Amino acid sequence: MEDILTALQHLSGEWAEKTAATLKQKSPKALKLTLAAIRGARSLRSLDHALIAEFRLTVRLFEDGEFTEGVRALIIDKDRAPKWSPPKLADVSDELVKAYLSPLPGGEELAFA
């Protein structure tokens, strides 16, 4: 994700500037998780597996409060100043990304009949 932002900052033009500015406002954790999920989707065997991966991320982002912090900042308090955890891309470790994408505890995984 850091490489993407760096590349955008080295491009000229309104699109690159707006895109970089928008990404910098988003949750660092969610940015890295989204990128990892998109890259990981290439090797998933089916739509069911993709939906399971999305479900894992959704559950974990709700559990840790990242999603609700975004809602608070945009909709409830309208201060547009979310307090992301962690606050910087560099602080989102590969281990954290791996943990969020790993299977949910027993019985909590999304299952299809």
Is pTM beyond 0.75 here?
A: yes
Tokens representing 40 are: 């990981």
DSSP 11-65: S-SHHHHHHHHHHHHS-HHHHHHHHHHHHHHTT--SHHHHHHHHHHHHHHHHHTT
User: Is 101 strand, coil or helix?
Assistant: helix
Report pLDDT digits (tens) over 23-70: 999 999 999 999 999 999 999 999 999 999 999 999 999 999 999 999
Q: Residues 14-28: pLDDT tens digits? A: 999 999 999 999 999
Secondary structure letter of residue 49 according to DSSP = H
Residue ranges of the domains in the chain?
Answer: 28-101
